[in-house]
Amino acid sequence: MTRTQTFLSFILGTTMMTACAGITPEAADAAGPAELTADADDADIATTEAAWSPGDAFTGPYEGVPAFDKMDIALLKPALIKGMAAQNAEIDAITANEDAPTFENTIAAMEDAGREFNRVLEYYYLWGSNLSSPEFRDIESWADPEIQAVEDSINQNQALFARVDVVRNGAEYATLTPVQQRLTDIVYQRFTRNGGTLTGEKAEKFAAINKELAGLYAEFSANLLADEEGWVTYLTPDQTGGLPDSFLSSAAAAAEALGKPGMYAVRNTRSSMDPFLTYSTERDLRETVWRNYYNRGDNGDAHDNNALIAKILKLRDERVELLGYDNYAAWRLEDRMARTPERAFDLMLQVWKASVGRVHEEVADMQELADAEGAGIKIEPWDYRFYSEKVRKAKYDLDSEEVKQYLQLDNLRLAMFDVAGQLFGFEFIPITDGSVPVFHPDVTVYEVVDKKTGDNVGVWYFDPFARDGKRSGAWATTYRSHESFRGETNVLAANNANFVKPAPGEPVLVSWDDAETMFHEFGHALHYLSSKVEYPSLNFGLRDYTEFQSQLLERWLSTDHVINTYLVSAETGEPMPAELVEKIRKASTFNQGFATTEYLASALIDMKLHMADPEGLDPDKFERETLDELGMPSELVMRHRTPQFGHVFAGEGYAAGYYGYMWADVLTSDAAEAFAESAGGFYDQDIAAAMVKYLFAAGNSMDPAEAYRLFRGRDAEIGALMRDRGFAE
């Protein structure tokens, strides 16, 4: 997820973040410096004053980089306390200014505020995502509500809002640049949507709700991580039927690391679950692995998330009711491209019927094959991937394991660099002299240079492998975002993944889906690196728009240049054969029923939950009954079942917003056709320049709908999406 260097950017909420969300506090309780320092003893404060602190300015090359080599969990809480106090003091200085409110002394001053606190937050969220530990989780349970308190101390600061109101509705507003006006509008709306206009008991209740939610989000995330780390399926050598050597090698290494040498470990993460369900011939074990994965947070034990979800939904509803909204979804979508839940629903339902129909076709093909084999089974969810792979081979003579032999992680990284060079003019140069500290030996770093000018653009960090304490999935983030209003800054961007680390000397081979995910997440990094925004808060965009740019970058994986140059055999080094490429392209719409339906089920449940009356709501029952009403096929489940839906319940980044991937998909398919129809194809320099200028570099400095029209010459149309997925329009 994205963090910027000023606190206002942090509180503006919606980030340029990935498919896999983390913990994003969105609103909180009002607390002054005295409250924030109450838990700090003299030793804590002395520690931060006597030695390096996470709040210290970045030093070293590239305008300064995080001191990841100095990270010490003992320093984190004192630094948070000190940073919060500094943040409060900076806001107090703005409100105490006796001069009449202006853009410079109010809006721009808010953009400047909180730099120390945000540097601490960079380390805090890194610990939470990449290096979590029991010691960190103890701090997290205290810190999340306190961070929320600081946020509410701004959102509900009446004196501060009064100054913002003067700038927004006074005579100076007409003289501001369009970008300054947009920033002012965003800041003003942030107050009105987050309790800034509330007073008295309502303001107190709003703050109390947010503080309680912060704690619940941390608890939800901890429960999910506990189930991912705690449920491991161990295989004996006679239980490995059908599993490819690459999987077995990684599973053996994982088992040994977990103290089970001679066995094979299937971790409770998607990167382990998915290939196991695709290839294992042990149906009973497929069911076990499937149930372990899809029951995360739903086992009726100490880590069960259902009660937390019910509390979260009720509190969210109570909070937006204080602001006059009918439900949380109506509040959430007001400032998104979709604008209303009804518009988002309409888009999803247009695709839902076609995707469910395709699922029935896919299941019929699988059942026919299973019957022909004499399997004597009815296709169940733990069979879908296994028999889908068999159908793929039968229909298209396409073996996913054969494709995987051409998808080496290191080569894919080089392919991404090549695409970034051709479209964005970036060059990625390895930094090997130790001048940029890293937080784990697996992390590699690269200088990013503008090839035309030779100027440094930023630094890119890559953390590719799974490990204990690292949350699952793949995501992108920044440790410093671009701004120019106080001087140009370069960008510190990062990509994170959870590939299973191979045995020494062996390549990491990934699936086609994983390769697309790599390009997707790298698209977020390019979004950060190409930013030309003036004010740091404008790096943040609308959630249903900022997935579009990264989804668009996925399309370059299947271009001839990437395939012919980088997709080479791990054994022979030979390029992928033309006949295999043709099979991949012919099968491009294969299994779209599964992929689209499992996603849409999650998005529809998310929206339905946030439109429903939360009083007495049973999340499991609601999920089951709503899916029945929608006609969800029994042979598959939601991509993210409710008790494990971290995008939505470990924070608010995607709450009532998971539909955004589909909204972005419409833009993606339409924009991809602009490249496909051009003379230069996907490497057309004129279209690439327009893409970078309007879709990547502009950030949130202009209305996204207008930015897309400037790129495409019209609004996006849904037809391209339906064609991409092989659905009837």
- Structure tokens belonging to residue 20: 């896999």
Q: What are phi and psi of 116, to 5 degrees?
A: -65, -45
Instruction: Taking residues 671-692, report their average pLDDT.
Output: 96
13 and 153 belong to one structural domain: yes
- Structure tokens belonging to residue 577: 């054969």
Cα dihedral 400, 406, 410, 415 sign: negative
Instruction: Taking residues 668-688, report their average pLDDT.
Output: 95
Q: Determine what percent of the chain falls in helix, strand and coil, rounding each to the nearest 5.
A: 60, 5, 35
Residue 4 has pLDDT above 50, yes or no: no
290 and 319 belong to one structural domain: no
Cα dihedral 381, 385, 387, 388 sign: positive
Instruction: Taking residues 267-283, report their average pLDDT.
Output: 95
H or E stretch including 418? helix 409-424
Q: What are phi and psi of 485, to 5 degrees?
A: -75, -20
Residue 46 banded pLDDT, cuts 50, 70, 90: very low
Q: Please check whether residue 368 lies inside any domain of the structure.
A: yes
80 and 169 belong to one structural domain: yes
195 and 48 belong to one structural domain: yes
- Structure tokens belonging to residue 665: 């998909």
Q: Please check whether residue 131 lies inside any domain of the structure.
A: yes
Instruction: Indicate the angle between helix axes 512-529 and 543-553, nearest 10 degrees.
Output: 120
Rounded Cα distance, 214 and 565, in Å: 47
Residue 299 banded pLDDT, cuts 50, 70, 90: very high
pLDDT digits (tens, 9 = 90+) for 77-112: 999 999 999 999 999 999 999 999 999 999 999 999
pLDDT at residue number 10: 36
Residue type present at position 141: S
Residue 13 has pLDDT above 90, yes or no: no
Residue 588 banded pLDDT, cuts 50, 70, 90: confident
Least confident of 245-249, 639-643, 672-676: 245-249
- Residue whose C-alpha is closest to residue 459's, from 474, 443, 445: 445
277 and 221 belong to one structural domain: no
Q: How many domains are there within the chain?
A: 3
Q: Compute the half-sphere exposure of residue 376: CA atoms within 13 Å on the CB side of its CA.
A: 0
Q: Which long-range contacts (CB under 8 A, 24 or more apart) does 219-222 make?
A: 219/141, 219/308, 220/297, 220/305, 220/308, 220/309, 220/312, 220/646, 220/649, 220/650, 221/22, 221/23, 221/128, 221/471, 221/646, 221/650, 221/651, 222/137, 222/140, 222/141
Q: Please check whether residue 200 lies inside any domain of the structure.
A: yes
Q: Please check whether residue 519 lies inside any domain of the structure.
A: no
The CA radius of gyration of the chain, in Å to the nearest whole number, is 25
208 and 260 belong to one structural domain: no
Rounded Cα distance, 729 and 723, in Å: 7
Q: Please check whether residue 403 lies inside any domain of the structure.
A: no
221 and 235 belong to one structural domain: no
pLDDT at residue number 34: 31
42 and 166 belong to one structural domain: yes
Residue 47 banded pLDDT, cuts 50, 70, 90: very low
DSSP letters, 689-716, are HHIIIIIITTTTSS-HHHHHHHHHSS--
Q: Please check whether residue 621 lies inside any domain of the structure.
A: yes
Q: How far is CA 677 from the centre of its chain?
A: 31
Angle, alpha carbons 212-544-176 (nearest 5°): 90
pLDDT digits (tens, 9 = 90+) for 416-440: 999 999 999 999 999 999 999 999 9
Bridge partners for 44 per DSSP = none
pLDDT at residue number 400: 87
Rounded Cα distance, 296 and 224, in Å: 6
DSSP letters, 12-60, are T------SS------------HHHHTTT--HHHHHHHHHS--TTSPPBS
161 and 237 belong to one structural domain: no
Q: Please check whether residue 169 lies inside any domain of the structure.
A: yes
DSSP letters, 534-579, are SSGGGG---HHHHHHHHHHHGGGGGSHHHHHHH-B-TTT-PBPPHH
- Check: CB of residue 265 under 8 Å from CB of residue 251: yes
117 and 93 belong to one structural domain: yes
- Check: CB of residue 194 under 8 Å from CB of residue 155: yes
pLDDT at residue number 674: 95
- Check: CB of residue 44 under 8 Å from CB of residue 77: yes
Beta strand pairing call for 475-480 and 264-266: unpaired
Domain region containing 620:
341-377+592-724
Q: What is the CATH number of the domain that holds 681?
A: 1.10.1370.10
Cα dihedral 376, 382, 385, 389 sign: negative
Q: Please check whether residue 238 lies inside any domain of the structure.
A: yes
17 and 142 belong to one structural domain: yes
207 and 261 belong to one structural domain: no
